[in-house]
Structures are given as structure tokens and as C-alpha cells.
Amino acid sequence: MATLGDIGLAAAINLITALIFLIAFAILRLQPFNDRVYFPKWYLKGLRSSPATSGAFVGKFVNLDYRSYLRFLNWMPDALKMPEPELIDHAGLDSAVYLRIYLLGLKIFIPILFATWAILVPVNWTNDWLEQSKATYSDIDKLSISNIPQSSHRFYAHVVMAYAVTFWTCFALKKEYETVTKMRLHFLQSEKRRPDQFTVLVKNVPPDADESVSEAVEHFFLVNHPDHYLTHQVVLNANKLSELVEEKKSKQNWLVYYQNKYERKQSKRPMMKTGFLGLCGEKVDAIDHHIAEIKRLSDDIAEEKENVKNSPKAIMPAAFVSFKTRWGAAVCAQTQQARNPTLWLTEWAPEPRDVYWQNLAIPYVSLTVRRLLMAVAFFFLTFFFIIPVAFVQSLANIEGLEKNASFLKPIIEIKPIKAFIQGFLPGIALKIFLILLPTILMIMSKFEGFLSISNLERRSASRYYLFNFFNVFLASVVTGTVLEQLHTFLKKSVNDIPSTIGVAIPMKATFFITYIMVDGWSGTAGEILRLKPLIIYHLKNFFLVKTEKDREEAMDAGSIGFNTGEPQIQLYFLIGLIYAVVTPLLTPFILVFFAFAYVVYRHQIINVYNQEYESSAAFWPDVHGRIVGALIISQLLLMGLLGTKGSASATPLLLALPILTLGFHKYCKGRFEPAFIRYPLQEAMMKDTLERAREPNLNLKGYLENAYLPPIFKEAESDSDDDDDDGEISDKKWAKDNVLVATKRQSRKSTPVPSKISNGSSPNLLEIQEKDKP
């Protein structure tokens, strides 16, 4: 079993690993050629640009200002300087509220830490039950509830602390729910006009032999919403058109590359082979070939556009319907439209950035079947993943390794190696097993047919959390208990097995401590280093960048990754609440994670991430519900644990806790959740009135009529406008998007160096705006 010394050594290993990551980040972020990797958010906002390439040759790649290295940790205080209202303006409400999840963890667990360490640690430590029971244990287990004798009156201290933890957690959750609700309503009231405020998505439009879908939608809403209906856009199946446009964009980019190459050396026309990857096939003039291909694709795109617009098969029984006022849209989105409740289904339209256009072409009647299939697939995925989890747990069992591979015993017994195996290897092995999981769950969510990216991520997050609960938490406890205590089960009678399990479950705190250190500490430090985007950017820059547009696309800012990040945070809430009363030693490790992650992700949100959409914190009810669920699970497990410890008088006192917690959740659901589902008509009318007073002659129809036109149509139109009759790219397009990049080697020489904003890690928006004023 891992001792306090082993955990301390493992903590040192993880802290040193995290420190190495932080030092590497602090140095790499100062180098000019990494500027687009560590500050992409400012490039996308237009507040940071590629600096001039003049000056010393070395200075184009390496920051020669030694003073900047003396301040290499300034990014930490800089990340905390930006006030929350400014952060909302800069990154959106979703990002700001996401950070509040970490703050909520600190608010909940800091008081719990002081209370449990002041009361429960002395109560647990001053016993010798583990010594008398002759079970396998360590000093860590002596600090847990496992060290309390059977039927001891000391269990009342744990019952009282369970009530204290529950009441404090509920109080913190209520205050945070109230705060986030106010933030959401204020954000919706104060933000600029957005198309989704005036638009609803109508699904299951009934077929009509005499009218097209577009005519049926227009007729229905002119009759039933005569004073508020404005315009509509039917949903089109443009997936094939999307493929053609993407292929044309690729051909255009290659054409620019070969034209640039010819400009540099006009004595020889560039040649290429038309076969697989340019390695085989007929040898042709590269420029002429791509011009011909672009011309062919342009014709195919024009033909496919007409097919999509005119073919009944390409028109889906759904539409985006826009209204003259927010009030009219709110009434339509939140009411039943027809006698038959399965027809003319309405819901708030996602904002245009949030729409997942590929799923709009899925027939509504197939959604139920798709979701049933994915529910079955998720069950089997969760069930069969127990096998690798059991393997990880056996890896963490030193005694098992020594018995099955006795020749390794001399090596394993070396203290640093033993600490590495018990304190680092299990966590990193489990992390590796989980790498592909988010991608699989997102594919499953897309197959289910959700129509917005935010809903896709929330669905994937929900399943990721369930997966973590069953396979990371429950399976780790069960498989670990069986593997570690198997010899004890064989020696004891059947009547003693429940008490053995009661001792063993708290002992799994060691595994979760190592998991928190590897995933929470080292993993968070690895997040800020951005090693994968750094390597990919430079590989693209060296091998693939042909134009300046390519260089911009190689700069991948990424996003928060709600579908992976939020479930991981919830797992820490679950572990922290379960072990707060059982093994208080785990709480400080949780707190280090929340504090460190808050600083790191605040920095990333300010400087790196570019959120794809804005849902106005619509995910918060899910966050609240999962924390409440974790609290109830912790109460039930504590009841079961006390039952195995023979505390018949203390256990019934806990029965009220789950009931009180469920009552609290029902109150919050009724009091706060409606603000995240519906838009109050009072707020909508107020917003409409203020807007009419400011802009009485607003042309809202011109603003909304193409807002929900599939982006691929806009790209196709743009590409058509940029092409001349002979297939050549226009001079305007050339000058705007295709700045010459001489050669691969020279393109590295012209990599951006720090701009005047680059000297700070997170420049203040107000300061930048002041500098930009005339």
C-alpha cells in the first residue's frame, strides 16, 4: 500500500512535472516564432498583428530581451487582472461562467477542508482499529474513517460533518445559481442584436399536396402570427454542395501556391502529376490543370445550388422563421402551434454560429430511432471499458505485481520506482485509455441528430460524466477492492466480508489522489504549454503553408472544449464530496487543482481560446444538477459505509440528507432553471421597446432574411464572385487573401515577431482601445 512518503514523492514528481511545463511555457511564449500559438485570440480580434521582420536575423526567432525572462511568471497575475465584466465582453458569457465552476469548487471545498481537518482527522487518527483488524493499510488509511472501530460512537462526528458538508454545498450552489441567472438575464438584456433573438426553428412541417414547404410555412405563420411574422428560410440539404465547395477551396489554394512559385522563377512552368498524392499519373502544367479543375468545380457548384434550391428532395420539412420582435419570437418558441402536438414543433433557433448544419437534413421521424441506437451503444461502450480499468487497477497493486512477476521485485522495491508505479503510472495509464473517448462520444451525439454545437457538446458532456462515474469511479473502487483484498476475503468468513468492503472503499482514496495529481496538476500544466498545437503549427508552417491564408488557418486557437472539460471538473466534485467525510486527506489535492486550473484556464480564455458559439450560459443547469447528484451519491455511499461498520444508530440519521438535497434541487429547478429555458416576455418587450426608441427606422428584414442561409451557400457565392470568366482568380482576391510566401524556408524567416502588444501575456482591452483612439 502507498504510504504518506510515497504520496509525498508522487506529489513532488507531479509538481516538478507541472513546474517544467510552466517554465517551458514561460520561455516558449516569449519567442517571436511562437506568437501565433500562444496569443491567437488577439490575432483573431485584430488587436495583434504579425510584427515587422526587420532587425537582427536571430531576433526574428528568439527573444533577445533578457529582462522579459526575469518576468517569465508574470502571466499568472496578468491572467487575474481582467475584471469579470470585461472578460464577458472579451470572451463571452459562456467562457466567464465556465471559469466560475472552478471558483465554485474553491468556495465549496475551502471551508470543508478546515472543518474536516479540525474535527475528523483527529477523530480518525486516534484509533488503532486497522492494526487490530490486520487488514492491509497505510498511514493514509489511518487518517480515514476506516480506522474507526466497529459500532463506535465516533461515527456521530462523521454524521454531523455530513450534514455540515451538505448544508454548506447547497448554500454555495444556491448563491452561485442565483448569480449566474442574474448574469444571464443581464447579458441577454444588454448584448447587441442577434438573429437568434428573433428566430425560431420550426420542425415537422406537415406535407401539403398543393403547397411547397416554403409556401406552407409562410401561409401558416401569416395566418397564426399575422402581426409579428417577418420572413423565413427553409432548411436545405446542402451536404453535397459543401463537399464541392471544400474541394474547390483546396484547388484554389494550390493554384495560388503554383502561381507564387512561377512568379519567383518565370523561366520554368511548374509541373505536377495528376495521380494519387501527385506521385503517379500524367504529368501536366500545374497552373493550367488547377485553373481547369476550378472551372469544372465552379460549374458543378452552380448546378448543385440549383438542384438544392429546386429539388423537393433537398428541401426538408423544417424552417427558420424570423419575427418582427423578440416578443413575437418568444411567444412562438414557447407555445404549442397546432391541435396536433407532433406538428409545427417550435423551439428557439440556435445562433447562426451554433447551428450544426449537417444534422438539419436528418428527417425528424428518424431521431427517436437514432437516439435509441446510441443509448444501446453507449451502454455497451461503458460496460466493456471495465476491462482496461481493471488492468489499470492491477497495475497500481504493487503486491500483485511482485507475486506475478517475482523477478521484478528487486527493481520494484527501489523507493523512487515504487513511488512512480503507485503515484504516477495508474493515473497516466487511465488518462491514455480515455484519450479517444471524447471523439467517440461526439460522433455518437452527431449521429443522434442534435441541431446545435452547444447541444452536441452538452450531450457529449453528460455521457462523458456518466462514463467517468461508472468506469473511473465505481469500477476503480470495485475492481481495486477485489484485487487488493482478495486474500482477506479468502481467510475471513462470509459474515465478515461486508466489514472488509467497508474498510477497503476508503482505501481507494490513494488511487484518486494520484489520479488528481496526474490529470489535474500535470494535465492542467500541459494544457497551458499547448505542445500539440505548437508542434502542429510549426509542421504546417514548414511543410504545408503556401499562402498567408494558410498561415492564418494553421493558427488553431481551439475552444474551451466543454464536452471534455466540464465532465472532468464534475468528476473532481464527485470525488471531493464523497471523500470529504470519508478521507479528508484528499481535499487539499482537490483544492490545488481548482486553484491552479482557474488561473490556467483564465489565461487561456483571455489569450488563446476562440469560442465557436455563445449560448448565454445555457449549460449551467447541467452543472448544478451534476453537483447535486454527486452530493446525493456521497450521502448514499456514506450510509452504506456506516452500515458495514455496524453503526446501526448513526446510519438512520443520514436518511434525511438525500430527501433534503432532492427538495433543494427541486426548489432550484423551479426558481432558477426557467431563466435558462425560456425568455421572459417582460424582458423581450423591454428590449424591443428600447431598440425601437433608438432605431425607429431599423430594416430588420434585411438583417434577418439571410441570417440562416447555410454558410456553404455564402461561400459558394463568394467563390463565384471571385472567379473571372476564364477561371482566373481576380486581382482583388489575390491582393486580399494570397500574400506571397516566397519559399518554405523563407516563410520561416518571415514568421511573426512580437508586436508591441506581445510584451504582456494578457493585454488589457481598455488599454488597447485607448491606444487605438485617434
Three-class secondary structure assignment of 495-564: HHHHHHHHHHHHHCHHHHHHHHHHHHHHHHHHHHHCHHHHHHHHHHHHHHCCEHHHHHHHCCCCCCCHHH
The enclosing H or E element of 333 equals helix 326-333
Residues 627-640 pLDDT 10s: 999 999 999 888 88
**Residues in the chain, how many?**
774
Which backbone phi and psi does 294 adopt, to 5 degrees? -65, -40
pTM of the model: 0.80
Report how many domains make up the chain: 2
The enclosing H or E element of 374 equals helix 367-384
In this predicted model, which residue has the larger pLDDT, 437 or 723? Answer: 437
| 318 and 371 both lie in a single domain | no
Contact 119, 157 (CB under 8 A): yes
Contact 207, 317 (CB under 8 A): yes
Per-residue confidence at 761, pLDDT binned at 50, 70, 90? Answer: very low
Of 677, 695, 716, the position where a domain reaches its end is 677
List, in sequence order, the alpha helices (H) in 92-154: 93-125, 129-133, 139-142
Q: Residue 625 pLDDT more than 90?
A: yes
| 290 and 372 both lie in a single domain | no
The enclosing H or E element of 174 equals helix 155-190
| 487 and 628 both lie in a single domain | yes
Separation between Cα atoms, residue 32 and residue 626, nearest integer Å: 43
| 208 and 187 both lie in a single domain | no
Other residues' Cβ atoms within 10 Å of the Cβ of residue 280:
10
Contact 183, 617 (CB under 8 A): yes
CA 413 distance to own-chain centroid: 40
Residues 379-409 pLDDT 10s: 988 887 777 666 665 555 555 555 555 666 6
Mean of pLDDT values over 624-652: 85
Mean of pLDDT values over 48-60: 55
Q: Is 692 inside a domain boundary? A: no
Contacts for 698 with CB less than 8 Å, ≥ 6 apart? 691, 692
Of 83-92, 526-535, 613-622, 704-713, which gets the smallest average pLDDT?
704-713
Q: Is 371 inside a domain boundary? A: yes
Contact 105, 569 (CB under 8 A): yes
| 303 and 160 both lie in a single domain | no
Terminus-to-terminus CA distance in the chain, angstroms? Answer: 68
Residues 234-273 pLDDT 10s: 888 877 887 888 788 788 877 877 887 777 777 778 888 7
Rg value, the chain, Cα: 30
Taking the CA atoms of 693, 696, 701 and 704 in sequence, report the sign of the dihedral they define: negative
Separation between Cα atoms, residue 671 and residue 458, nearest integer Å: 22
Q: Is 683 inside a domain boundary? A: no
Of 634, 657, 677, the position where a domain reaches its end is 677
Domain encompassing residue 154: 4-191+366-677
| 98 and 241 both lie in a single domain | no
CA 34 distance to own-chain centroid: 24
Q: Is 714 inside a domain boundary? A: no
Q: Is 163 inside a domain boundary? A: yes
Residue 451 CB-density burial (10 A; 0-12 exposed, 13-18 middle, 19+ buried): buried
At residue 403, the pLDDT reads 59
Contact 611, 91 (CB under 8 A): yes
Q: Is 58 inside a domain boundary? A: yes
Contacts for 315 with CB less than 8 Å, ≥ 6 apart? 212, 213, 214, 234, 235, 236, 237
| 513 and 615 both lie in a single domain | yes
Contact 619, 563 (CB under 8 A): no
Task: Tell me the one-letter amino acid at 514.
Answer: T
Of 350, 377, 398, the position where a domain reaches its end is 350
| 41 and 177 both lie in a single domain | yes
The enclosing H or E element of 273 equals strand 271-273
User: Which residues are 345's β-sheet partners?
Assistant: 203
Which backbone phi and psi does 319 adopt, to 5 degrees? -160, 155
| 301 and 442 both lie in a single domain | no
At residue 709, the pLDDT reads 83
